[in-house]
Structure 1
């Protein structure tokens, strides 16, 4: 925080302390500000808010140590995996055919332990990786550097999307990295039948698709001619509900 943040900081502290009793004195505020000065005002605000919401600590007035603990807890929830999970993800880089997704800290830590990996010392490599990774993550968090997820493509092109898709779904990567675009329900319904489909199933599927098309056309026609009365409006709503029910059924089957 900067000196010009003191007034806003003081108001925040007064607001919290007033929940329990008298506001802090000028000297108490000055001490608070001095201890927390290394943190940006927005992080201090978030730390104070988190303290108030804490079901255990929030029962008591916040001390500087409480605010610092809350700030560190917030910063640590940045999406970076723990050391064990990071090792499990990074160790797959030994196979050049495999596609992996990792952070800069994971990549650098893997470089540190690479000589041990090449020597076949998996235990030593894991320990060296975890030590380096923990240190690098702590430094990045201290500098408030957000995690950056990058892709290292392996030689096996067929297996890439199965690795990338979970990271796309988690919001770590853009869908642009996928070689096969994700398809919607309409495309699922248009896919060819599986090899073990029976004639009866194919006939039922064709009938259902035809009925869905008829419902769609009826709804479109109603939009074109407008509503003549409440009965027509209710009929259209019923048609919409029926169409949605059919679509939902096929969505479940496709899943």
Structure 2
């Protein structure tokens, strides 16, 4: 069973939220239909489903459908799009580079590698994307959470840089990153590699001027990514406030109509 599966109370609450969403979109929904939809969605985390319902209220024109909800639930799982996945897969083909990829990217690249070795990059790309989309669709249909893995390259310093970046971006856990770095220490690494590892382990080895420049670039990328996330959170917060305001205004209008009828 998926660890995020809802309990009975959460399913009932979700069914009510589906009914309310349909009503907000100008549609009357049978409670039994809403309950059935909620049961189909019970394998996904409650906050993600509620976020998807909110997106439906703002984005969907017409009646609420299960496909609308599922599309938004599944697209929030963090899996890269097929074009980004292909670029990650190509980078992993360089034996020097250390790359962090999903299980679906790794499996799809296995299908495309024989074609790529023949020199047909276009054919390999088509094979990869076809396999990747099938694998992602199957994983999403089973509500399988995203899983990132590390493909180690030969360059020790690049290994450490890639692992440190993956930890910062929360693709792998701090503990997993530390374990990879501990394994790397079995073989000697450069002073620059030790300096990068120090970002996680706390050791103090002075990096070279060239590495300092590279680290500054990495920090800038991370800073920009965090700023983008903050902007997205601010937009969601604003959308929440607008949604709350609209619901309250609708309630006030409904009360006013009732009072007018009572006065007549």
1:106-154 superposed Cα distances (whole Å, 9 cap, x missing partner):
1100000111011011111011101101110111111111111111111
Task: Describe the SS at the equivalent of 1:84.
Answer: helix
Matches within 5 A, 1:10-29: 11-12=16-17, 28-29=30-31
Change (3 A) 1:22 1:129: closer
Change (3 A) 1:102 1:38: same
In structure 2, the partner of 1:148 is: 147
1:148-176 superposed Cα distances (whole Å, 9 cap, x missing partner):
11111111112212222321111012341
In structure 1, the partner of 2:74 is: 75
Aligned residues of 1:51 and 1:57 also touching (Cα < 8 A)? no
Aligned residues of 2:101 and 2:148 also touching (Cα < 8 A)? yes
1:188-215 superposed Cα distances (whole Å, 9 cap, x missing partner):
9xx6997xxxxxxxxxxxxxxxxxxxxx
Change (3 A) 1:137 1:181: same
Aligned residues of 2:104 and 2:136 also touching (Cα < 8 A)? yes
Matches within 5 A, 1:76-225: 76-173=75-172, 174=174, 175-176=177-178, 177-178=180-181, 180-182=197-199
Change (3 A) 1:84 1:16: closer
Name the CA distance, whole Å, in 2 between partners of 1:193 and 1:91: 29
Which runs of 5 or more structure 1 residues have no equivalent in the other structure? 195-254
| Cα offset, 1:47, TM superposition | 4.0
Aligned residues of 1:87 and 1:126 also touching (Cα < 8 A)? yes
In structure 1, the partner of 2:40 is: 38
Aligned residues of 2:97 and 2:159 also touching (Cα < 8 A)? yes
TM-score norm. by structure 1 comes to 0.57
Aligned residues of 1:89 and 1:102 also touching (Cα < 8 A)? yes
In terms of mean alpha carbon deviation, does 146-155 or 90-99 score higher? 90-99
Change (3 A) 1:140 1:22: closer
When the two structures are aligned, how many residues end up with a matched partner?
Answer: 186
Which runs of 5 or more structure 2 residues have no equivalent in the other structure? 182-193, 210-222, 224-264
Aligned residues of 2:21 and 2:57 also touching (Cα < 8 A)? no
Q: Which has the larger radius of gyration?
A: 1
Task: Describe the SS at the equivalent of 1:101.
Answer: strand
1:56 to 42, 55, 58: 58
Aligned residues of 1:113 and 1:129 also touching (Cα < 8 A)? yes
